Amino acid sequence: MQPATAYAGTQTAGFYKSVDEGKTWIAQNQGLTSMDVRSIAVASGLVLAGTAQGVYSSIDGGASWHSLGLESLDIAAVAILPSATSSTVFAGADNGTAGSGFLLKSEGLGGSWAVVKGNFPGDAVVASLAVASAPSGGTDPPLLAGTSQGLYRSDDRGATWSPLAGLPTSDFNIALFNPANADQIYAGSDGDQGNGGVFRSLDRGASWSSFGAGLPIKPRITALALQPLNPAQVVAAAWNPTTGSAGAYRIADPAATVAGVTASALPSASSHPSATPRAGAGGPAPVRRSSGTPAYATYAVAVTALLALGAVAVTARLAALTIPPRVQGGALRPATLPSSLRSVQHGLRRSIAAAHHPVETDPERGFG
């Protein structure tokens, strides 16, 4: 995988790939039967796409796709945990029968899925999945699941899961491991009760602190990304449901300590995404997650998922376009999309996912 490679999913135009850090994009949909791509994961030459009609895999960088099943489910999150002989793949759903289980696991690429049970809540909608780059307290890299009922961690390839306590909220859109230190975790919360924001743990999730004092008041976080060569710097996409404002923010913490963490708006934050309600002048058409949570309003904006390996500038630009699904009103000004993506301005359904790994890039470039 080249550091300049980035993948993007759209709601109605399928899967896109860029090999020049997001300057140009090419559609790659051979074998995809669902053009609503919700989530993306990459590991060991394998690409996974979670769609509105199941999971797809590609072993040629997205040039062609093969169905792995789960066609009846909306897949909001996917993850790959490689091993010496095969890969364990995970899928998180945001629809289905309440209590039936929204996290699924498959050993290999045979498409044989099993619901993750045990101490993982059967009615927790899964919004994000993350795999650490190295073990942390176990023999295998740990996994994170951001859900509507809290943040969960597994250290045994998804066999058992433990809730991470000490957080002021329970609805998590995104969670990331520090690629340089798997003991450090970053989480972004939707904050249903006004407790949204970015949180960080330096001790594998045993304790947490708020991260980013300069973020808007009571922000709802829809995306997080880490600077590959300086993971203490984070890009967060935040919005305020009261004012309707949204933007991308850089959270800088050079000393990697809890004290002194500040956030500042990126230049792209001043241009808010264009938001067009799906239904008439009376307002957006509400949609509902199967778990029975409050109604959502879906807007036509940009991409549904983004995974950039080293392409930090891509994440910074597109993070500002992540209008969340819960906006109920507010005037949002137009944003500028990359020209090659302007024709695929399709609605954000649930989340935008970004993942980064240490790569050889210019350390002075930062977030660009």
Closest CA to 220 of 199, 197, 243: 197
Asked if 62 contacts 309 with a C-beta cutoff of 8 angstroms, the reply is no
| Cross-strand bridge partners of residue 78 | 91
Label each residue of 176-213 as H, E or C.
EEECCEEEEEEEEECCCCCCCEEEEECCCCCCCEECCC
**Model pLDDT, residue 345:** 36
Question: DSSP code of 330?
Answer: -
- What domains appear along the chain, each with residue ranges and CATH number? 6-344 (2.130.10.10)
Cα-atom radius of gyration of the chain, to the nearest Å? 18
Q: What are the C-alpha distances in Å from 242 to residues 22, 181, 194, 218, 317?
A: 32, 36, 11, 10, 23
Q: What is the residue-wise DSSP string for 110-134?
A: S---EE--TTS-TT--EEEEEE-SS
**Model pLDDT, residue 276:** 25
- pLDDT tens series, the chain, 368 aa: 465 777 888 777 788 888 876 677 788 999 999 988 888 888 878 899 999 899 999 999 899 999 999 998 889 899 998 877 778 899 998 776 665 678 999 987 777 898 888 788 888 888 889 988 877 767 788 999 988 888 999 998 888 999 998 888 778 888 888 877 888 898 888 766 667 788 889 898 899 988 877 777 777 787 777 765 666 677 777 776 666 666 667 777 655 444 445 555 554 333 332 222 222 222 222 222 223 322 222 222 335 555 655 444 454 444 444 433 333 232 233 333 444 444 433 332 222 333 232 222 222 223 23
**Model pLDDT, residue 60:** 92
pTM: 0.75
**Model pLDDT, residue 65:** 96
**Model pLDDT, residue 222:** 75
CA distance 260 to 263: 10
**Model pLDDT, residue 246:** 64
Asked if 348 contacts 302 with a C-beta cutoff of 8 angstroms, the reply is yes
**Model pLDDT, residue 66:** 94
Residues 6 or more apart from 283 whose CB is under 8 A from it?
277, 297, 328, 329
CA distance 182 to 247: 28
CA distance 110 to 271: 44
